[in-house]
Amino acid sequence: MSHRRIKSALRMLCSGAPGLVLGLVTATACAAPLQAVAVSQPEPGNVTVTVRAPGAVPSADAFTLQLPGADTAPTRVAAQSVEAVKALPPDLATAVLLCVDRSGSMHSAVPAIKAALKDVLARPRPDLRIALMSFGSDTPAPTPFYSESTPVIQAVDAIRAETGRDGKTRLYDALNIGMSALANAPLRGPKRLIVITDGKDEGSQTRFDVLSVLLKGRGQPMDAIAFGQSAQNASSRLATLASKSSGAFVLATSPSSLAEALRDDLGTAPAPAYEVRFHYDAAPGVPPLQSAQLVYAAGAGAPPALISIRAGLAAPAPAATRASPSSAAIRPSPSPVVASAVASAVASAVASAEQAAPASVREAASKTESANPTSSTSGSFITIGSVKIDVKIGFSVLVGLATALSVLAYALRRKRTRVPPPDEPRAPEPKQQRQATRIGAMFPSPSPGRPAALLVNEGSRRASSSYAIEKPNVRIGADEANDLVMRDYYVSRKHANIRFESGTLYLSDLGSSNGTFLNGERVSRVMTLNPGDRIRFGHTTWEVLRADDARNQPRNSGERVERPVP
């Protein structure tokens, strides 16, 4: 953490802003001069992680790949090698979305923000793809991601601060739209969002608690720069949101500190890239892992950085199967230390038995030993120091000790187990309730000109629009390749799917960012559809009607008709 960030944190603590301590702890634990760019797995068990690290070349000893285990402790794999990469593919560039607050409360701060952005963006950065989004009482769509700084600077020049009565800033809506735009960006490299605002929000439809959960679950860091006249008193929640996303929070009190904060977030030059290679034995026939962690130990005294990796890596083989087959067939011999300890215990037991034996018995044994001087070398005795141990007696002592320990363990276990008295009535076990099964209605088979059902969207300011389901499989999302294209910022590129099979329509979510809702409940599995059901994708709601319903007939004859959300 830089000296400037420490000073801004102390200033926030002195002003009594809550929630910053968590942000500082998270930033300190997560901040690292290293960034994971891409992950590849040419074959199961061979993993290559491409990273960017400024400064000296990192050593292989500093990297560890931590793979989670279902029922066991995580498997830690040490790096084998670290090699420098001369140039990365263009699609591995870092996608950066700059969100600028131009609401009425930021009217006097907008000129300083524009000057700082143009100063930082003047230097070419081929390792970045930058988009710009300005918001106030409205939330327009962000610009495309540009590889050159000229169109971004032109977009910065076009920012105009709002005038008039303040009180309708939609900060939370803008952050939600910005994170969705980053998630849908067609880039394979890292993605991050940088917001410059005073932290005020009065007009968003997205609640603070909902946005906190979304930022934590998406895994994309959000760096927040608080700037403006109200920033010192209104940015406590902004600091909390930054910590939820593992991002950084900075309070900039002057135009120069604002420019410095932007340089810290974007960097002044591309950092060198390296390929870190790992190898481990993969488990055959096991589903791939959904996540892993790259552990980077920057140096002595510094806490290790944990970098989340969301990729389908092969699951590691259990420890028993990773051993060589020949070692399993060979019985391991006890170590000398263990053998010596066992022999010493046996010698002590035998010595005690000899002391407790009658004198006549000890005299007889002495005479027998003197009569057979070769008995000690025939293998029936073991000499440890000055104590001679009979093998048979030692074996009997070991068996006795083992039996005593078994009886003691059984008694302790029985004591801990509570046995109810015979006359104590046992409570009847509750019967497991079966979950209700949703049965779908019967729809006709879809074909061109003969839809199985209609999806009707009743607009509040426009006439209703309809979509006729004339295919067995209807893809829904923001991508132009879908059958039903949604002009909604809260809809993912591949959002949901409606499938017809044996007279039934089935609805399923395709892992969208904001979810699919059926009659107000989030869809977590495949659901059947009935006439009258209401389906919500993002902020757009559609009603399921039969094809012969006279309330709304499709005017598109099977073509896609959709209404953008105002």
Q: Does 429 reside within a domain? A: no
Q: Does 108 lie in the same domain as 75?
A: no
Whether pLDDT at 432 is above 90: no
Judged against a pLDDT cut of 80, whether residue 142 lies above it is answered with: yes
**Structure-token pair, residue 129:** 């793809």
Residues 112 and 256 in one domain: yes
C-beta separation of 98 from 334 below 8 A: no
Looking up tokens 């560039």, which residue turns up? 93
493 and 525 share one domain: yes
**Per-residue confidence band for 399, with pLDDT thresholds at 50, 70 and 90:** confident
pLDDT computed for residue 342 by the predictor: 44
Which long-range contacts (C-beta less than 8 Å, at least 24 apart) are formed by 78-82?
78/278, 79/276, 79/277, 79/278, 80/277, 80/278, 80/279, 81/276, 81/277, 82/57, 82/58, 82/274, 82/275, 82/276, 82/277
> In this structure, is residue 378 part of a structural domain?
no
* Whether residue 49 sits in one domain with residue 118: no
pLDDT of 130 = 92
pLDDT in the model for residue 367: 45
Torsion sign (Cα): 195, 201, 205, 211? positive
pLDDT above 70 for 533: yes
User: Which one has a higher pLDDT value, 165 or 48?
Assistant: 48
Pairing mode of beta strands 191-197, 222-226: parallel
Looking at the structure, tell me whether residues 51 and 84 fall in a common domain: yes
Residue 523 lies in a domain: yes
* Distance of alpha carbon 497 from alpha carbon 305, whole angstroms: 39
Q: What is the pLDDT of residue 348?
A: 52
pLDDT of residue 227: 93
Residue 17: pLDDT over 50: no
Same domain flag for 206 and 306: no
Q: Given a cut of 70, is residue 345 above it in pLDDT?
A: no
- How does pLDDT run across 95-109, given as a tens digit for each residue? 899 999 999 888 889
Identify which of 346, 316, 216 has the alpha carbon closest to the alpha carbon of residue 354.
346
Do 154 and 178 reside in the same domain of the chain? yes
**416 pLDDT exceeds 80?**
no
CA–CA distances in Å: residue 533 to residues 41, 504, 536: 43, 14, 10
Q: Read off the pLDDT of residues 197-247 as tens digits, 9 standing for 90 and up.
A: 999 988 898 899 888 888 887 777 899 999 998 888 888 899 999 888 888
Lay out the sheet containing 81-85: strands in order across: 35-43, 46-52, 273-279, 81-85
How many domains in the chain?
Answer: 3
- The listed range with the strongest mean pLDDT (33-37, 172-176, 283-287, 559-563) is 172-176
238, 223, 214, 243: which is closest to 492 by C-alpha?
214
Res 2 pLDDT > 80: no
First to last CA, the chain: 42
Domain boundary among 266, 289, 323: 266
Whether 372 maps to a domain, the answer reads: no
- pTM for this one? 0.46
Q: What is the pLDDT of residues 294-337, one digit of tens each?
A: 888 876 666 777 787 777 888 888 764 444 443 333 344 444 44
Considering the chain, what is the average pLDDT of its residues? 75
Query: 477 in a domain, yes or no?
Result: yes
End position of a domain, from candidates 258, 283, 310: 310
246 belongs to a structural domain:
yes
In a domain, 507, yes or no: yes
pLDDT of 19 = 34
Q: How far is CA 279 from CA 5, 65, 79, 452, 564, in A?
A: 39, 10, 8, 52, 49
177 SS3 class: helix
Over residues 466-482, mean pLDDT:
92
Whether 196 and 293 map to the same domain: the answer is: no
Q: How far is CA 64 from the centre of its chain?
A: 17
What pLDDT score does 365 carry?
A: 43
Same domain, 60 and 123: no
Sheet strands side by side (includes 484-485): 484-485, 473-477, 496-501, 504-509, 527-528
Together in a domain, 205 and 300: no
Running DSSP on this structure, what letter comes out for residue 199? -
Task: Tell whether 438 is covered by a domain.
Answer: no
**Domain of 123, in residue numbers:** 94-266
Using the predicted structure, report yes or no on whether residue 477 has a pLDDT greater than 90: yes
Describe the crossing of helices 171-183 and 208-218 by its angle, rounded to 10 degrees.
20
CA 243 to chain centre: 15
Q: Which of 295, 310, 325 is the last residue of a domain?
A: 310
Q: Are residues 519 and 472 in the same domain?
A: yes
List the Cα angle 533/537/542 in 5-degree steps: 40
Q: What does each C-alpha distance from 114 to 106, 108, 153, 238 come to in angstroms?
A: 12, 11, 9, 21
62 and 185 co-located in one domain: no
Task: Say which CATH number the domain at 126 has.
Answer: 3.40.50.410
Report the run of H or E that residue 345 belongs to, with start and end: helix 336-356
Asked if 507 and 526 count as a contact pair (C-beta separation under 8 A), the reply is yes
From the number of C-beta atoms within 10 Å of its C-beta (0-12, 13-18, 19+), residue 440 rates as middle
Q: What pLDDT sits at residue 555?
A: 40
- In the 8-state DSSP scheme, what is residue 195? E
The dihedral built from the CA positions of residue 339, 341, 342 and 344, taken in this order, carries a sign that is positive
Helix (H, G, I), strand (E, B) or coil at 130: strand
Paired strand residues for 313 = 289
Tokens found for residue 502 = 């044996």
Rounded to whole angstroms, the Cα distance separating 59 from 487 reads 48
Give residue 21's pLDDT band: very low, low, confident or very high (50, 70, 90): very low
Residue 512 is part of a domain; what is its CATH number?
Answer: 2.60.200.20
